[in-house]
């Protein structure tokens, strides 16, 4: 005797309804918590029991189709192996989970588009993007065709361009750092900047120069934010005839590379040359001496960015632009310049 259609797959709201002896609509009302004057407490109880008994979970695709929202957002970052963006993701994912949103990560590796396929599976309601690798329009375009008009919040991007932003106050951080370095007595500064010049790096440099006071930049170079990039550029800078007494880097990993350059040149840190980083990535405390740097609240950056994006989705308003203050961390890599 062939049993007629064993339900097999996951239970649906219809199954729950049958089990509870009510209609599918009622189940839906109960689950949406919209039964204020429409369903009796006893019935609510019955539905809840049925849900538990069957282990029912709503079908997200159906819900999305009905509501026109996927409850998923995309996080666009340069490659995720950087501890900074890992932390950004952590904060963002935390907030998203609390508000019942999923996060799909979209790593833009040097501008390579991961989903050239127009039938990409990414069904998303909005985009949270770091500008480290791109301008706002590029970000949206890179998320695939048809996404140009998605709600967007940018991280570490120039404010006032029509897109809500959540930023680290890199200008304040750099100013504080500059004042500290100058206060130590340094006057001849070498500057190692990021090779990719997104807004956050331009802002760092402008703030640094504005706060130099009696000191001046006597040598300057750009390099990728890598160990080897930092090492090679620092080799040149430290050998500069202008004899800088401090090397101010845009990034901790660059600074770690600078340590290697200093060692290769027989210069001690900080006795012969001071070195500073930026970001307080985990490298900062791994190196010896530990690195003087500016802590950027990466986790909070992700969290506040996600909050703004979800607010934007819910209310149409992301709220005012956010600026998160960093913190100068003085450690062992800085000292007054050697006399003479």
Partner DNA sequence: GTGCTGAGGTCATACGTATGACTCCCGCCA
Partner DNA sequence: TGGCGGGAGTCATACGTATGACCTCAGCAC
Q: Which residues bind DNA (CB under 7 A)?
A: 9-10, 12-14, 22-26, 28-29, 31-32, 34, 37-40, 42-43, 56, 58-59, 62-63, 65-68
58 binds a copy of itself per the rule CB under 8 A: yes
93 binds a copy of itself per the rule CB under 8 A: yes
100 binds a copy of itself per the rule CB under 8 A: yes
Residue span 221-240 as binding mask against a copy of itself, x where in contact by CB under 8 A, dash where not: ------x-------------
Q: What CA–CA distance (Å, rounded) separates 22 from 17?
A: 5
CB of 80 to DNA, least distance (A): 30
Of the candidates 215, 204, 229, the residue with the CA atom closest to the CA atom of residue 293: 204
Among 53, 79, 239, 242, binds a copy of itself (CB under 8 A): 79
80 binds a copy of itself per the rule CB under 8 A: yes
Query: Stretches 72-80, 126-134, 170-178, 189-197: which one binds a copy of itself (CB under 8 A)?
Result: 72-80
CB of 40 to DNA, least distance (A): 3
24 binds a copy of itself per the rule CB under 8 A: no
253 binds a copy of itself per the rule CB under 8 A: yes
DSSP assignment string, 240-301: -TT--SEEEESSHHHHHHHHHHHHHTT--TTTT-EEE-SB--THHHHSSSPPBEEE--HHHH
Report residue 51: phi and psi, to 5°: -55, -45
| DSSP 3-state of 194 | strand
CB of 14 to DNA, least distance (A): 6
Q: Select the binding partner of residue 159 from a copy of itself, DNA, none (C-beta < 5 to 8 A, by kind).
A: none
In this structure, which long-range contacts are made by residues 158-165, counting pairs with CB atoms below 8 Å and at least 24 apart in sequence? Answer: 158/131, 158/199, 159/321, 160/321, 161/136, 163/136, 164/308, 164/312, 164/318, 164/319, 164/321, 165/321, 165/322
Of the candidates 32, 140, 72, the residue with the CA atom closest to the CA atom of residue 310: 72
Q: Are 15 and 47 within 8 A, CB to CB?
A: no
Query: Stretches 78-86, 132-140, 159-167, 325-333: which one binds a copy of itself (CB under 8 A)?
Result: 78-86
H-helix segments, the chain: 13-20, 24-31, 41-54, 60-67, 83-98, 136-142, 170-184, 199-210, 227-238, 252-264, 283-286, 298-315
122 binds a copy of itself per the rule CB under 8 A: yes
Residue 186 in tokens: 């340094």
Place of tokens 């500064």: 189
CB of 83 to a copy of itself, least distance (A): 5
Binding footprint of a copy of itself, residue count (CB under 8 A): 62
Q: Select the binding partner of residue 83 from DNA, a copy of itself, none (C-beta < 5 to 8 A, by kind).
A: a copy of itself
| DSSP 3-state of 57 | coil
CB of 42 to DNA, least distance (A): 6
Q: By the criterion CB under 8 A, which residues form the site for a copy of itself?
A: 9-10, 31, 55-62, 64-65, 68, 70-72, 79-83, 85-87, 89-90, 93-94, 97, 100-105, 107, 109, 114-115, 117-123, 144-146, 227, 253, 256, 259-260, 263, 282-283, 285-288
């Amino acid at each position: 005797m062939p049993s007629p259609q064993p339900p097999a797959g996951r239970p649906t709201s219809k199954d729950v309804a049958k089990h509870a002896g009510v209609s599918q609509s009622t189940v839906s009302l109960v689950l949406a918590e919209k039964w204020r004057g429409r369903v009796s407490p006893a019935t609510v109880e019955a539905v809840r029991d049925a849900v538990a008994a069957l282990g029912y979970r709503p079908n997200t695709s159906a819900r999305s189709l009905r509501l026109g929202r996927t409850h998923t957002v995309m996080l666009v970052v340069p490659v995720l192996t950087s501890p900074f963006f890992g932390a950004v993701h952590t904060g963002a994912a935390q907030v998203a989970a609390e508000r019942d949103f999923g996060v799909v990560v979209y790593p833009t590796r040097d501008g390579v588009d991961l989903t050239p396929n127009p039938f990409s599976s990414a069904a998303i309601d909005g985009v949270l993007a770091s500008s480290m690798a791109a301008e706002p329009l590029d970000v949206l375009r890179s998320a695939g065709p048809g996404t140009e008009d998605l709600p967007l919040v940018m991280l570490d991007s120039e404010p006032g361009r029509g897109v809500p932003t959540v930023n680290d106050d890199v200008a304040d951080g750099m100013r504080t750092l500059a004042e500290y370095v100058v206060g130590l007595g340094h006057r001849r500064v070498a500057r190692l900047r990021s090779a990719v010049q997104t807004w956050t790096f331009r802002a760092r440099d402008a703030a640094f120069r504005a706060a130099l006071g009696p000191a001046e930049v006597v040598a300057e170079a750009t390099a990728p934010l890598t160990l080897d990039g930092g090492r090679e550029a620092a080799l040149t800078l430290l050998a500069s005839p202008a004899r800088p007494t401090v090397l101010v880097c845009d990034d901790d990993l660059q600074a770690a590379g600078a340590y290697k350059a200093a060692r290769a040149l027989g210069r001690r840190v900080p006795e012969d040359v001071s070195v500073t980083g930026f970001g307080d990535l985990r490298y900062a405390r791994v190196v010896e001496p530990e690195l003087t740097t500016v802590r950027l609240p990466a986790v909070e950056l992700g969290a506040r960015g996600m909050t703004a994006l979800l607010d934007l989705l819910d209310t149409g308003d992301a709220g005012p632009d956010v600026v998160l203050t960093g913190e100068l961390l003085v450690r062992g890599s800085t000292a007054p310049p050697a006399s003479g």
